[in-house]
Amino acid sequence: MERHNPGRRRTADHLYASALSLARTGEAFDRLRGLQGVEGEALLLVLEASKADGRSGVTESEPITPGRLGRELRLPSASVTAVVDRLERGGHLRRVRDTGDRRKVLLLPTEEAERAHTTYWGGLDERIVEVMERFSPEELSIVDRFLLGATAVTEGYRAEREEHP
């Protein structure tokens, strides 16, 4: 199997272009919502945890805590507090006490944040589905396998680079 054949290189280039386009679309959302730095990623984690559908890698079925947010973002607690404070002041999230353990603080998106996220990203979801409709279930299965493999490799590579820069 030739590693550098033109078809494989072209597919890799398309994957990178898609990832870059998605990242830029996320940055545009952040700018529109007045989010800076890591705030957009933090808000996305809060939104996804509240849904717990696993779309962005968050699969736990409960709202995210500041501690878990810090682990996900790889930030110290003081930095997490500052980010959460800014997001709360901006009307993007709210802190609530866990009903089972009053010492535990949960982070939940505001209705406005959920609405803005759904409105902005819903249009892209619809367009992606339109593209997917051009493919057979068998073709989509192959794409799924490829994307899952590429995601796993990317996550592994990132973890290695963080451990051994």
d(CA 121, CA 76): 30
55's CB contacts (< 8 A; 6+ apart) are 48
Contact 44, 56 (CB under 8 A): yes
60: region left, alpha or beta (phi > 0 left; psi from -120 to 50 alpha)? beta
- Which of 52-56, 70-74, 91-95, 145-149 shows the lowest per-residue confidence on average (mean pLDDT)? 52-56
129 HSE (CA, 13 A, CB side)? 6
d(CA 64, CA 115): 19
Residue 135, pLDDT score: 98
pTM (whole model) above 0.85: no
Residue 61, pLDDT score: 59
Domain boundaries, the chain: 25-133, 135-165
Residue 48, pLDDT score: 92
d(CA 62, CA 146): 30
Mean pLDDT of the chain: 91
Average pLDDT over every residue of 5-21: 93
- CATH assignment, 25-133: 1.10.10.10
Q: Could you give the maximum distance between any two Cα atoms of the chain, in Å?
A: 58
Residue 59, pLDDT score: 47
Q: Please report the sign of the dihedral spanned by the C-alpha atoms of residue 149, residue 155, residue 159, residue 164.
A: positive
